[in-house]
Structure 1
């Protein structure tokens, strides 16, 4: 059993998927499967249970990953003591695409001054949190709500920014052209709306529109349901529909906010960068303290 074999086991524990981990290490799923079997054979015990298409740690596996994560970290700390300040290292950042688009610059700017290469994992919040917890990623951009709802209590969050959510339309939309920016509930219900099929943050279907809008406050005429968030943005930018979007998306795309009379539609979400202090190298501690 080699150290890189252990690192693969730790990553699979976080991703719960052979193909995801195989892609991360640039190996085939078949080769990775052989590595897992080799590790299990050397330990004379099974570490994973297959549940559907996922690999889930059993009790022995959880114990192994807990101790082996410390082993890998101690090895990395040991070798870092003997490397020069110019030694190149790899930094892994995880998070949903919608958060990476807005928050990534805040992380890349300080990293650009360090001798490192950066890998960016576009994954949903639950996977991003698991990757940091397992050591597969160094840091992740997620919402504070997602972190609070997770079972990982050994991760630390640093506030990056807060964002509100608002109904928005393109400047070419008929309502904006007519300067009808405050709608009654009936007017709102008659306007075409675009929603994601799944939450762009967690990847799950949530409520009627999976976008955070409380439909009991005001009913919507959902005409477009988009499985891809970029497609939803395209629909909105074309002027065909309204959408309930984060304020940073609205600002980036120069969209116009629409209000609904008698409805408090403003919703706020805290965005944080998370990391695992117990396994953080020197560069990571400096980065987190600089934010």
Structure 2
């Protein structure tokens, strides 16, 4: 069994399509197919069921995939560790986020501390985040909501109040707090279902007897402030997403559940480089300062 065979097997197993896997690996379909066939011959069992031009992992393949991913994970961690020991002032930090509003401030602080370290950031769904963490392909993730799962460390770093944003001329604009029941007849702008803040506040509104009426649903949280400012509707937004320059008033919502938790995640078995440790320190310190400002 060769290391190349394992890499090729993982690519085909994840895509379940030879053409797509070959394109990803920059090899010919013929070469890829022959490599997979040799691996199956070495193992003595088929790993895939062939359905036309598609491949489906069979039970043998699913069992072998778990072992192959674990083996390649450990080899990759060894490479990362040696690279860190030989050149700790260089390298790239791999990051994943479900919430990006506060990321520029954190990255700016980290760059001051480690100017020679590069970083690569991906905006991910929760499931994509879990997948990359399991594969050891990211150093850290910033997620809201937190993820509880075997093999993943989860450190809640900030509890972010969810506020109601209203245009400056709105009937509630002069107040500091509002109850959910008072919002029954409001028009809302928000992100689509599946976003943590949206799902949480929809459930909270249902608990007091109404379903929020959305006139806009999108996938760009940063756009909501502009829509509120234009008078299109009101919006639930995390406190960290406040825009002090916008003609918008922010009110606290009178429910203790109107908060989102932001967590720092990493794989328990992933090698944590010195640069990654420094990044974690920057994140924790940043949110500690933010918590102090929020509570004062």
If the length of structure 1 is used for normalisation, what is the TM-score?
0.70
Instruction: State which of 195, 203, 207 in structure 1 corresponds to 2:190.
Output: 195
1:287 Cα offset (Å): 3.2
Once residues 60 and 137 of structure 1 are traced to their aligned partners in structure 2, the CA distance between those partners, rounded to angstroms, is 23
Query: 2:69 — aligned with what?
Result: 65
Query: 1:157 — aligned with what?
Result: 154
Query: Structure 1, residues 159-210: CA drift from partner, whole Å, max 9, x if none?
Result: 3321011222132x42256x366667775222211232223349xx948x7x
Partner of 1:101, secondary structure, is: coil
**Larger of the two Rg values belongs to structure:** 2
Once residues 38 and 146 of structure 1 are traced to their aligned partners in structure 2, the CA distance between those partners, rounded to angstroms, is 43
Query: 2:142 — aligned with what?
Result: 141
Q: Residues 213 and 265 of structure 1 are in contact (CA less than 8 Å); yes or no, is this contact kept in structure 2?
A: no
Q: Name the CA shift for 1:32/1:109 in 2 (closer, same or farther; >3 Å).
A: farther
Query: 1:282 — aligned with what?
Result: 273
Instruction: State which of 216, 230, 234 in structure 2 corresponds to 1:238.
Output: 230
Query: 1:89 — aligned with what?
Result: 91
Query: 2:126 — aligned with what?
Result: 125
Cα RMSD (Å) of the superposition?
Answer: 4.2
Q: Residues 91 and 119 of structure 1 are in contact (CA less than 8 Å); yes or no, is this contact kept in structure 2?
A: yes
Which shows bigger deviation, 191-200 or 121-130? 191-200
**Structural mapping, 1:1-291, within 5 Å:** 6=7, 9=10, 28-29=23-24, 31=26, 34=29, 40-44=36-40, 46=47, 58-81=62-85, 83-86=86-89, 88-96=90-98, 99-112=99-112, 113-143=114-144, 145-148=145-148, 152-171=149-168, 173-176=169-172, 179=174, 188-201=183-196, 206=199, 213-220=204-211, 222-230=213-221, 231-250=223-242, 255-258=248-251, 264=255, 266-283=257-274, 284-289=276-281, 291=284
Q: Residues 205 and 212 of structure 2 are in contact (CA less than 8 Å); yes or no, is this contact kept in structure 1?
A: no
Flag structure 2 segments of 5+ consecutive residues without an equivalent: 41-45, 285-296
Partner of 1:100, secondary structure, is: coil
1:122 Cα offset (Å): 0.8
Q: Residues 142 and 272 of structure 1 are in contact (CA less than 8 Å); yes or no, is this contact kept in structure 2?
A: yes
1:142 Cα offset (Å): 0.8
Flag structure 1 segments of 5+ consecutive residues without an equivalent: none
1:42 Cα offset (Å): 4.7
Once residues 199 and 249 of structure 1 are traced to their aligned partners in structure 2, the CA distance between those partners, rounded to angstroms, is 18
Once residues 130 and 120 of structure 1 are traced to their aligned partners in structure 2, the CA distance between those partners, rounded to angstroms, is 15
